[in-house]
Amino acid sequence: MSDSPPVGVLALQGDVAEHLRMLAAAGARPVAVRRPDELEQVDGLVVPGGESTTMWRLATAFELMEPVRKRIGGGLPVFGSCAGMIMLADRLLDGVGGQQTFGGIDMTVRRNAFGRQVDSFEADIRLRDVAEPPRPPFHAVFIRAPWVEQIGTGAEVLGTDAATGRIVAVRQGSLLATSFHPELSDDARVHRLFVDIVRDSR
Ligand code: GLN
């Protein structure tokens, strides 16, 4: 069905089931992606929350690093939450030795940045076009979350954490990243935004 685009969730590690559920709620046809041939079938990809060091190691072992990079380079819409945000960063701070990302968004992300203050917390976030007045804010769950220290000219800030002033949501073209976990709430607005991006890019 043309209005239910096939959207993959990178299913190596992390909160895959939660993203699959939210994508279905947002009107997409969710697909678990573990192999390069499965990656070829999707019109969009979610990189879930989890642990970016493990995801990088598994993506290397499953020979997915280059195929994902290639599809990002070809314009595939990708949404990364938390560890997924780290995976979409062109520049990473506080990674483990040799840690690689897919890249794609011209931003510098610091891993475990909020974690140094408090491991996890929840906060109401305003997100441009999605959760700003008169709409209610987005109730965001942060778990050992990264933050964005700097973005390049091609990227735009969608949201900041009011308490720290840190950037927690970024968009660059059809690439989207959040420090928090929209998949761990019942609020499908971020997933709907992403599915709209996927539809627009077809
Ligand atoms: N700290 C994790 C990492 O480095 C991310 C945490 C998360 O996704 N909840 O990948």
Q: Can you tell me which residue has the tokens 């964005």?
A: 148
pLDDT in tens, 55-107: 999 999 999 999 999 999 999 999 999 999 999 999 999 999 999 999 999 99
Q: Check residue 109 and give its pLDDT.
A: 98
- Confirm or reject: Cβ of 111 under 6 Å from ligand 1: yes
- Please report the pLDDT score of residue 118 as a whole number: 74
Q: What is the DSSP string of 50-80?
A: S-HHHHHHHHHHTT-HHHHHHHHHTT--EEE
Tokens coding 165: 């002033």
Query: For residue 84, which of 54, 61, 63 has the smallest C-alpha distance?
Result: 54
In a domain, 146, yes or no: yes
- Counting from 1 in the atom list of ligand 1, the atom nearest the Cα of 52 is 10
Number of domains the chain contains: 1
Can you give the pLDDT at residue 3?
87
Whether 2 shows a pLDDT value over 60: the answer reads no
Its domain, for residue 68, covers 6-201
Q: Which of 57, 86, 109, 141 to mutate to test the pocket of ligand 1 (most atoms within 8 A of CB)?
A: 86
In a domain, 178, yes or no: yes
Q: Is 19 a catalytic residue?
A: no
Catalytic residue, chosen from 18, 19, 183, 191, is: 183
18 is catalytic: no
| Cα 2 to middle of ligand 1, angstroms | 34
pLDDT of residue 92: 98
What three-state secondary structure class fits 165? coil
| Residue 52 CB–ligand 1 contact under 6 Å | yes
State if pTM tops 0.85: yes
pLDDT beyond 70 at 158: yes
Q: Would you say residue 1 has pLDDT above 80?
A: no
Q: Which of 82, 122, 132, 191 is catalytic?
A: 82
Task: Tell me the three state secondary structure of residue 134.
Answer: coil
pLDDT computed for residue 40 by the predictor: 98
- Is 38 part of the annotated catalytic residue set? no
How far does residue 96's CA lie from ligand 1's centre (Å)? 12
Positive or negative torsion for Cα 112, 26, 171, 104: positive
**Is residue 93 in some structural domain?**
yes
Looking at residue 117, its pLDDT comes to: 59
User: Which amino acid is residue 110, in one-letter code?
Assistant: R
In a domain, 1, yes or no: no
Q: Indicate the pLDDT class of residue 116, thresholds 50, 70 and 90.
A: low
CATH of the domain at 169: 3.40.50.880
- Mean pLDDT across 115-125: 85
The answer to whether position 34 is within a domain reads: yes
Say if residue 41 is exposed, middle or buried (CB neighbours under 10 Å; 0-12, 13-18, 19+).
exposed
Region 12-31 average pLDDT: 98
Amino acid occupying residue 124: D
Output the CA 3–ligand 1 centroid distance in Å.
32
Asked whether residue 78 is domain-assigned, the answer is yes
Q: How far apart are CA 192 and CA 169, in angstroms?
A: 15
Q: What is the mean pLDDT of residues 152-167?
A: 97
As a whole number of angstroms, the distance between CA 23 and CA 172 comes to 20
What secondary structure letter does DSSP report for 127? B
In contact, 39 and 67? CB cutoff 8 Å: yes
Any idea what DSSP says for residue 187? -
In a domain, 139, yes or no: yes
